[in-house]
Chain A
Amino acid sequence: MKNGPFLLLGLFTALGVSFAAIVLGAHGQLGRLTPFYDDAESQAYPQRMQGVAARGQLVYADLGCAACHTQQVRRPDYGNDKARGWGERQSVARDYIHQPRPQLGGSRLGPDLANYAARKPTEEAIYGLLYAGSATHPSYRFLFQERELVGERSAKAISPTGALAPKPGFQIVPTERAQTLAAYLLTLNNTYDYPEARPFVAAKKGEEPKK
């Protein structure tokens, strides 16, 4: 190779083509997806996140929860996401169109959270795990405050027991960040069945379309 400009041209073509095909191509296909309007329920899906949940997603992102939890369910015949109760159907692009920063994640050191709210967790259980942690889950005690008990106990205050119990005359209250995070987790519910998410029924032999 002698030609400098030829090399540069080739390099930029390569980068441009791959960017255009993959990123812009996907954007062209999925960037303008609309919510799906269900006639039967007179309701559009997915539903918008409330402001507090959208803020909670930023807390989820900046703490790096996605390092251990995915938010993408695979289809029932691929893996056993369904058997684990993570979702009846596979996640599709439409599930995420209202999310400012989808947290698909790439590692499963803990359960998938795409439909966490559908499993009906309580807010107290979330705070409990965040405060105390478990053998497999780190604690996030900096999301809580130990406050002096003045007057009535806060409605949000949690009651850990044993060594973690607050000093007498004190209460442990989730901070605003913890509350938005819990609000976010409690909205994770993508159970609506979109047409493109329906399982594919394999065509019978012989009917198989030609390549």
Chain B
Amino acid sequence: MTNVPTNAGSAEVTALDSQARGPLLLLLGSGLVWLVVSGFLALITSIQLHSPQFMADCSWFTFGRTQALRDTAFIYGWGGNAGLGIALWILGRLGGYPLRGLNWSVVGTLFWNLGIAAGMAGIASGDMTGFSFLQLPRYVLPLLVVAYAAIAMSGVLAWSGRRTDGMYASQWYAVAALFLFPWLLCAAQAVLLWWPVRGTVQAVAASWYGQAVWTLWLAPVALAAAYYIVPKVVGRVLPSYESAPLGFWTLIFVGSWTGGRHLIGGPVPAWIPTMAVVSASLLIFHYLVLILNFRVAFQTGGTAIRFIRFGLIAYMLAGLAELLTSFRGVALHTQFTFFSTAIEQLGLYGGVSMMFFGAIYYLVPRLTGNAWASAGLVSGHRVLMVVGIVLSIVTLAYAGIVQGAGLLDDKTTFATIFGQIRMTLVVNSAAQLILVTGNVLLLVNLVRSACPFTNERPATSIFRQPSKLEAHAS
């Protein structure tokens, strides 16, 4: 087992981590498996985009269903599992005591994954709901809520029983994500699936949920990781940290109001899209605070920091793109096109997932008490991710612009538009292939690193002893 250094209080690898090893590795591992599954599904959808007959006669994989399966595996499978694992670990670390209630979290993880698998089978066999990001049939959702609560409980216990009274930014963000998601999911499934509201109110509720999943659940987990890892690795106080609370509350209070941007020009009263524009502009402040706080991330290298840096930049670019496309004059050209897909990809893959990867690279060695098994796989994964993400976003955005121009010209038929963007979509398929290959590398590396029979060196020789953070004007 891991060597526990004597001065456990300030050591880098502590008993805290070795106890949480199994349950957290289970969460992260299942998250990665779902990511790979989602990657293969994304590959299928991207091929269907340029070759519509691909797998078309197989009723389980019509384009609409494959897309829903891809999103479900990504959001709930990858985002849910990995996000919970990261949030739990950070809350445990900052709480200062070993995580409690981990048995519950293991049971919860099993049922969470079971629920997603059952739901995906339901989608494939014809029970899809058709709301974006909430395609899961309603019969698995109560199970998911209960399973989520069981997993999240140990994080909440770690937070409420923390050693120090004060709270750090990572804790706000992680607690927000843990607490808000079950309420979000309950509220959305109540008004959409159990007691459906009427007509287009469903579309409003679905857009609210789709936005909140991203701004109140996945993004806060990713930011919690960034707020923890950046100062830990850089060894500097975060500059302008006193603005961080306002940045946090801006995201929490305003973030979920921007869903109406998907309904511009649609059958909803004008105030709903207008509200989205206003909230998206207020979010600029949130991004500004992040820029100020994370200036220091550019002062050092390292695997985790590189991923998180990329993630932060992508996250802010996605926010900026969301703002721009929520103005009606811009939306005229980008709405209903691949451009919105590109923004989604930028936020979810480039932003959230890259920060998740950074967190995983940072925390797995501390869980296993050993370095990652292979340096080649680490850098291979990083290169493939960067290339794949940039390539897929550039191709999708370009296809979106061409498609938008075509849609605005009423002489251009859909066949012409399709002909214009077909090659771009083929390149996008290649990007999806790169992404899924990269994620397989990460999964292999995780399995090899977590395998208990790899030769272990004492943790003290792997991890340098950290020093005390000194407060100095930044």
CB–CB under 8 A between A and B in the complex? yes
- Give A contacts to B, CB under 8 Å: 1-2, 4, 7-8, 10-12, 14-15, 17-19, 21-23, 26-27, 29-33, 61-68, 70, 72, 74-75, 78-80, 83-84, 90-97, 99-111, 133-142
For the residues of A in contact with B, the DSSP-based class is loop
27 contacts between A and B (CB under 8 A): A1-B245, A2-B165, A7-B172, A11-B175, A11-B252, A14-B256, A15-B184, A22-B257, A27-B201, A30-B201, A61-B128, A62-B130, A63-B64, A67-B63, A92-B267, A97-B199, A101-B130, A101-B196, A104-B203, A108-B407, A109-B49, A134-B52, A136-B414, A136-B415, A138-B56, A139-B56, A141-B57
Complex CA–CA separation, A68 to B66 (angstroms): 13
Chain A CB within 8 A of B179 CB: yes
- How many chain-B residues does the 8 Å CB contact rule pick out? 78
Return B377 CB to nearest CB of chain A, in Å. Answer: 35
Q: Are A72 and B256 in contact (CB under 8 A)?
A: no
Question: Per a CB cutoff under 8 Å, which of A11, A63, A90, A104 touches B200?
Answer: A104
Complex CA–CA separation, A135 to B59 (angstroms): 19
Closest to B249 in A: A10
Complex CA–CA separation, A13 to B114 (angstroms): 32
Report B111-145 CB contacts with A as 1/0, cut-off 8 Å.
00000000000000011111010000000000000
Closest to B270 in A: A200
Chain A CB within 8 A of B343 CB: no
Known interface pairs A8-B179, A15-B216, A78-B265. Does A68 touch B63 (Cβ–Cβ under 8 Å)? yes
Closest to A112 in B: B336
Complex CA–CA separation, A65 to B67 (angstroms): 11
Q: Are B200 and A30 in contact (CB under 8 A)?
A: yes
Q: Which of B147-155, B204-212, B435-443 contacts A (4 or more CB under 8 A)?
A: B204-212
Q: Are B160 and A22 in contact (CB under 8 A)?
A: no
Chain A CB within 8 A of B409 CB: yes
Chain A CB within 8 A of B197 CB: yes
Further contacts, 9 of them, CB under 8 A, given A100-B196, A133-B52? A1-B245, A23-B187, A64-B67, A66-B130, A84-B410, A108-B337, A109-B49, A133-B53, A140-B59
Chain A CB within 8 A of B353 CB: no
Report B235-277 CB contacts with A as 1/0, cut-off 8 Å.
0000000000100010011001101101101111100100100
- Give B contacts to A, CB under 8 Å: 48-49, 52-53, 56-59, 62-65, 67-68, 126-130, 132, 159-160, 165-167, 172, 175-176, 179-180, 183-184, 187, 191, 196-205, 208, 212, 216, 245, 249, 252-253, 256-257, 259-260, 262-263, 265-269, 272, 275, 328, 332, 336-337, 340-341, 403, 407-410, 414-415, 418
Return B69 CB to nearest CB of chain A, in Å. Answer: 10
The 10 closest A-B pairs by CB, nearest first: A64-B64, A138-B56, A83-B410, A96-B199, A74-B265, A67-B64, A108-B336, A91-B267, A61-B130, A138-B52
Taking CB atoms, residues of chain A closer than 8 Å to B249 are 10, 14
Taking CB atoms, residues of chain A closer than 8 Å to B132 are 106
Q: Are B184 and A101 in contact (CB under 8 A)?
A: no
Q: Are B179 and A11 in contact (CB under 8 A)?
A: yes
Closest to A114 in B: B267
Return B58 CB to nearest CB of chain A, in Å. Answer: 8
Return A132 CB to nearest CB of chain B, in Å. Answer: 10
